[in-house]
Amino acid sequence: MKIGLLGGSFNPVHNGHIELAQTALDSFHLDKILFLPSGNHPLKKDHSIPPVEIRYELTRKAIASNPDFDISRLDMETAEPSYTKFLLMRLQNVFPHDKFYFIAGSDIIPELSKWYDYKWLLDNIEFIIAHRPDTDKTAWNKLKYTSKFHFIKMEPVDISSTMVRKMIIEDKDISALVPLVIEKELISLYSV
């Protein structure tokens, strides 16, 4: 099977994540998308983030109606920082005959060299990249690994988790930004 991996803090999950997952699935003829909420993200140290179990449950509800989407706890249950290399090794143990595609926004491109053992990642996983509206492409010219990426052709989705949280705090309508099934829970969770 060809499995797309969409990881992140999902703080909170939103329609941009869902659209990115569906576009990657369709564009690269993947068999399924595996959402992987992170429990201990090494590059994000936000102590105000809701517990991973809450983010997992909200993500599970948000994707439940799509039979091509699934969710995994493999990136949640580690005390150490959640490095992508070790996540991929755990996934390879669970799915030894499958091929993995890491799905991300183009903002990771200049950051990838900071990832733990990124050269190993470039040799062991395919990257599917979606352009983000706020990404500066001029920095890419100096990078030697951009040939390793597959780019999604899709209109940029101008939604971020930060935007959703801010709009909830400001008591603005988020109905166009998040799956309806979790909208009320998100308002309750983030309006405090």
What are the structural domains, with CATH classification, of the chain? 2-158 (3.40.50.620)
Please report how many Cα atoms fall inside a 13 Å half-sphere around the Cα of residue 32, on the Cβ side.
14
DSSP single-letter state for residue 116: T
pLDDT in tens, 117-156: 999 999 999 999 987 666 666 666 666 777 788 989 888 7
What is the average pLDDT value for the chain, to the nearest integer? 89
pLDDT at 110: 81
pLDDT in tens, 103-118: 998 878 888 888 999 9
pTM: 0.89
pLDDT at 128: 95
Whether 180 shows a pLDDT value over 90: the answer reads yes
Give CA–CA dist 6/8, Å, rounded: 7
pLDDT in tens, 34-48: 999 988 655 555 557
Whether 97 shows a pLDDT value over 90: the answer reads yes
pLDDT at 25: 98
